[in-house]
Amino acid sequence: MISLDRFDIFKAVVDAGSLSAAATALGLSRAVVSFNLKRLEADLGVALLIRNTRSLTLTDAGERFYERCVETLESARRAIDEARGDDAPLIGRLRITTTPEYAAHAVIGWVDTFHATHTGLRIHLSTSSAPAQLIPERFDLAIRLGRLQDAEYRAAELSRYDIVAVAAPSLLRGRGRARPDDPAWVIGLPRIGYPRLPDQVLRASDGTETVFPSNPGNVMLSADNAATLLAFARAGHGVAIMPRWLAARDLAEGALVALLRRHRFPDQGVYAVYPNTRHVPHAVRRFIDHARQATSG
């Protein structure tokens, strides 16, 4: 009988687009992946992939087998989960990805307490400022912030958070009479850009709305991650828009000041994002429940 592990390796190779990428995602060596792929083709008696130095291409048989492979693996995982039941200890592997800053703020704590209950589950937490591709990179779950843009994935909202405009006190000095609650004045200050943040609609306490450009023409410095954005703001290079939880310590210590206190930016969401399959693995569902409980407490 052909091992389901080889089904899984074949699927990983197709999803990742290369043997090396699949090996990295699976935590195996490239040689092991290549060996299992060759054995699978030998057992089936057909070529599944056409290999060259730059790419992999599915054969006709490979395309048909891949579709059945996905169905078979999903059915097998569903059968295993149903047999174990919801209250059974979790085993296997759970791969999670999020940003470095939110990992430090929340996700590391969630993983720590979740693993204390499910010691038989191997959990890998990966951090990156760039959103990971869940299926090619073999992630079971992503914790993402802000507005969701990946329609091909499913998502569960975990919580909401505020964003705030902040600046170092040194930025505000020497600019005449400071008007930190005037949107026009704040918009005119030097800005630190964050390309992934869209323009915001700023709402005053009286209901007045102002479009607050997130990356206007006065951006002289920009950052692609929250830690750099925060460091630039602390150094007095410009106004930065960021989550309140990220700026909380610097606001409390006076390294940053909050601007536009009589106004409110739209709040943002924290989401658990996972592949859109018919069957959601128990480990994913239970981690989402655990994260919800942690954020609500």
Nearest CA-CA partner of 41 in 17, 77, 74, 13: 13
pLDDT in tens, 178-210: 788 999 999 999 999 988 888 889 999 888 999
Q: Which range, 156-170, 184-198, 275-289, has the best average confidence (pLDDT)? A: 156-170
Query: What is the sign, positive or negative, of the torsion defined by CA atoms of 82, 134, 104, 164?
Result: negative
Q: Does 280 score more than 70 pLDDT?
A: yes
| Cβ atoms within 10 Å of 80's Cβ, excluding its own | 14
pTM, 2 dp: 0.75
Q: Are 223 and 229 in contact (CB under 8 A)?
A: yes
pLDDT in tens, 93-141: 899 999 999 999 999 999 999 999 999 999 999 999 888 888 888 899 9
Task: Average the pLDDT over 270-281 and give the result.
Answer: 86
Stretch (H or E) spanning 228: helix 226-234
List the domains of the chain with CATH numbers: 4-84 (1.10.10.10), 92-161+269-296 (3.40.190.10), 163-266 (3.40.190.290)
pLDDT in tens, 50-89: 877 677 888 888 888 888 888 888 788 777 766 666 667 7
Angle at alpha carbon of residue 160, lines to 274 and 287, rounded to 5°: 35
Cα distance between residue 81 and residue 66, in whole Å: 22
